[in-house]
Amino acid sequence: MRHVFVLGAGTIGSLIAGLLSRSGDYTVYLIDHDESALKRATEDIDRQNLTPLTVDAIQGSALRHCLSDHPCRAVISALPYYCNPLVAEYARESGLHYFDLTEDVSVTRHIQNLSRGAETAFVPQCGLAPGFINIVANELMEHFEELDTVKLRVGALPVHPSNVLKYSLTWSTDGLINEYGNFCYGLEDGHEVVLMPLEGYETIEIDGLLYEAFNTSGGLGTLADTYSGKVRTLNYKTLRYPGHCEKVHFLMRDLKLNKDRDTLKRILENAIPKTVQDVVLIYVSVSGKQRGELYEENYFKKIYPQTLYGKLWSAIQVTTASAVCAVVDQVLDRTALYQGFVTQESFRLEAFLENRFGQYYR
């Protein structure tokens, strides 16, 4: 049995705990400061392999003692991105493998610096985007002798939009605002460039439907560092229904709510409903030279909500939780191969999809 910590008993954390504990190979300690959240999270999970622990992960000394008091191999953070530097520091102190779902660039860089010389693996950005999208892009890019343009596009959208934003809150509001408000990064002429969020507007038709796409922060992960100087153009954009970007631009730029994110969060959570009836869109386009000629390869996938353990989980919950579980499984299977900072593009697409947790992407 592999003993692991899962921090955060929200929808993503509880599904991660459920997937791992129900596999029969993991004993999971699910940690949260909210006893009611832990109770909800464990209602539909086999408690034989899961132990809920009421601990405030933001309160450093409590988390430090918890990590050192249990014989675990890894810690998986499903906490908001701003909690992860502290979690990573205590994972390093305790000799644990570390995994998170962060999209925040500065947090990832902090973890990269922290992981230097570590004998355990530090694997941030283990979700959908960044995460699985980087594994797909890397796989396609390796099919080319010379790379020209690489486009990563991901969207988590309500199947039945019913408001002017044509959007529902399908995951962390903090993470959403972070993506919409922080600087973005990409490659132009082979060199890293800073891109403005909500800019780079384009429309794209996928599977007969029209979407818009625009720059958002974090989704590119570490690909720009990995492929700097090796590809002419590389960028990541979020997919939305047409009209969304203009209205978010009004909120964040014209009303200046990007500088008052607490107010923006209250507005969004008060006005925009949550839903589990969503669809995840994954699109990657790579063009370049193969055998001396210009070719293009594409990857496209639509993923819908799924019923697990008698409960309906949204597509973004399933894709995010299963992605980190698949990566954890691969690292703990072959720990000798993974030490220090580990990028998502270190994992092979075929191995990911063949993994028992990667099946939800097939």
| Total-model pTM | 0.95
Domains and CATH numbers, the chain: 2-124 (3.40.50.720), 132-305 (3.30.360.10)
pLDDT at 47 over 80: no
**What are the pLDDT digits (tens) for 246-290?**
999 999 999 999 999 999 999 999 999 999 999 999 999 999 999
User: Tokens for 242?
Assistant: 């047409």
User: Tokens for 295?
Assistant: 């070719």
pLDDT at 344 over 80: yes
Give the pLDDT band (50/70/90) at residue 181.
Answer: very high
